[in-house]
Structure 1
Amino acid sequence: RRTWVISQALGKLENPAAVPALIQAAQHRSNVDLRVCATHSLGQIGDESAISFLKTRSLDRSANQGDRGVAISALGEIGSPSALPTLEEIASSELRPILRSLAASAIRQIELLQGDAETNLLAALGDNSDWIQDDWILARLHRQWSDRVAAGLNQFLREGLQTRSPLRFQVTALLTAKLALEPSTFESLTVSMDRQNRWLATLASPADVRLAASGL
């Protein structure tokens, strides 16, 4: 269990130096949980040095479905176009429906990062029709934070007051942490008829909102 926890922690640190150790852990002969956790962490780190291993694991029909599935998902998280041929092969010819679906989702993730990634990601937020997780979208937007991203998230929050509450919480928390919650967004939450929206407004102090408005 200790090695499983360590693998998780390495993924959250997002340190590319951990990739070789995680690849080794992902090939453990008997510990399935360790393999899956280490492979997932490779996706979290997002370093392209893991792509070769992940492509091989994704295509390995001798590996179990869990190992292959998490490798496919990790390729989507990394978001490199170099993984597209592998994912397209799986999506078109794999016999197991779940792996085809995971490959299609990973392809969509990579597509979102091409061209105007900020616009693509903001437009996909809240739409889970392609199995694209909002956690991944917000993590990507956090990595490439800009005034444009902040404005887009504020607009999403103002216009999406009826979206599911966990997502509203995540967006509000991110904007608050970045001191980027706009006064108009704060007001829309404060005067909302929805008690949960009014509660979300308490996450940000008026001072934080004024600081965001000042642009400092």
Structure 2
Amino acid sequence: MTRTVSPMQLLFCIKQTFFVFILQTLIAYYFVFEDLDFNNFQPFTMKQSVIRLIASMLLQITASEELSNAIKVLTFLKRQKVKKQYMQSRYINILIASLHVLTPLSLFTSLVLTLGQTGQFSLIIKNYVTLGFMMTIDNIFTSSLPKEVIQNAQKLNKSGLLKMGPDANTFAALYKRAKRADRDVDEYFIVFMSSLVNLWYFFIQSFQVIVYNYFGAYMCLVAQYVGYRYQVAQEL
């Protein structure tokens, strides 16, 4: 990468990544900030519930695309066999991919918590449009990246050099690596970090497949029902 792109440009790209993540996370937080008291959940009405469900489904589609792309990158990095001197770069890339995983989930969670406490049709639609735009705002920042970075990415994609190879970091492989470490602290650290990556990858992939893909859109109605029943119980 550094043969065609300078370290300064790479550093700029990394800073842009963190900036976009912080921006999207802050938007998700402050968007739902006024509703964090959880005391304004709306009663169920057919029209509003249908609109809430449609908005959740549409945002879930957008979030699923972002989430799937991030998990693909995370899968590649998780399975990657890297020499010791390049481990730091691998960890940075895994961190960036993880941020990309968390961003759509935080925005979708913000929508789930907000819609159940929003009664007006116009506000429900505005909430969806706003968060849907924020979820894809990283595409806007892509145009600000240096041309060399974009051209290098295009060359890599066309060349087909980046392929999903066999998993070199399974727990069995890491166990064998730990046995061969012979009290090498660096090797033990690599095994430990790779084990954490495996656990994180297993958790986020399981969450996407089991929970998010099947029940994500309905979380809005579930949150509204639970929140409203809790409000009623508190008022009694």
TM-score scaled by length of structure 2: 0.28
Greater helix fraction, Structure 1 or Structure 2:
2
Higher relative contact order, structure no. (Cα contacts within 8 Å, ≥ 6 residues apart): 2
TM-score, normalised via structure 1 length: 0.30
Quick check: which has more Rg, 1 or 2?
2
